[in-house]
Amino acid sequence: MTVHYLEDLEPGLRYRTGSRTLELAEIQAFAREFDPQPFHLDPEAAKHTLFGELVASGWHTMATTMRLIVDSDVQLGWGFLGAGVENIDWPNPVRPGDTLTAENEVIEVKPSRSKPDRGLARIRTTTTNQRGEPVLVVTAKVIVPRRQPA
């Protein structure tokens, strides 16, 4: 595993995660617990919705992406410690059997002025399916420790 500190990050740095396949039963279980809408639960009812078929909740896609990041070979010193999210977009739905992979890209790195042991990084995560179609694009502000405080 590679651990990155603030000094290791620079705009343009990218790293990919492993992958995970979402199966129908898993999609329905998540939906029953957190997002019980017909297009996430019932294949027949989903046929009469905008999607025309059962799809995963966007929040399931987000949670799966977080798991991919946490299980990745590349980690941040304190973990992916979020300070906020600038945007979340779900450009395409996730369908049963889709295999998701995430890529993180460092957008900006700023040392803290008031806390010399850390800084803030803006990281854009794009999660794609097995066809390379984006299913989630999120930009997060992440608190990252410095290797040695300034």
Please state which CATH number belongs to domain 2-145: 3.10.129.10
The pLDDT averaged over each successive group of 10 residues in the chain (150 residues) is 95 98 98 98 97 98 98 94 96 98 98 96 98 98 88
For the purposes of burial, counting CB atoms within 10 Å of the CB of 62, is it exposed (0-12), middle (13-18) or buried (19 or more)? Answer: middle
pLDDT at residue number 149? 67
CB proximity list for 102: less than 8 A, separation 6 or greater: 16, 17, 65, 68, 69, 125, 126, 127, 128, 136
pTM over 0.85: yes
The vertex-124 CA angle with 63 and 34, nearest 5°, equals 20
Listed by start position, the domains of the chain span: 2-145
Tokens of 34: 């957190």
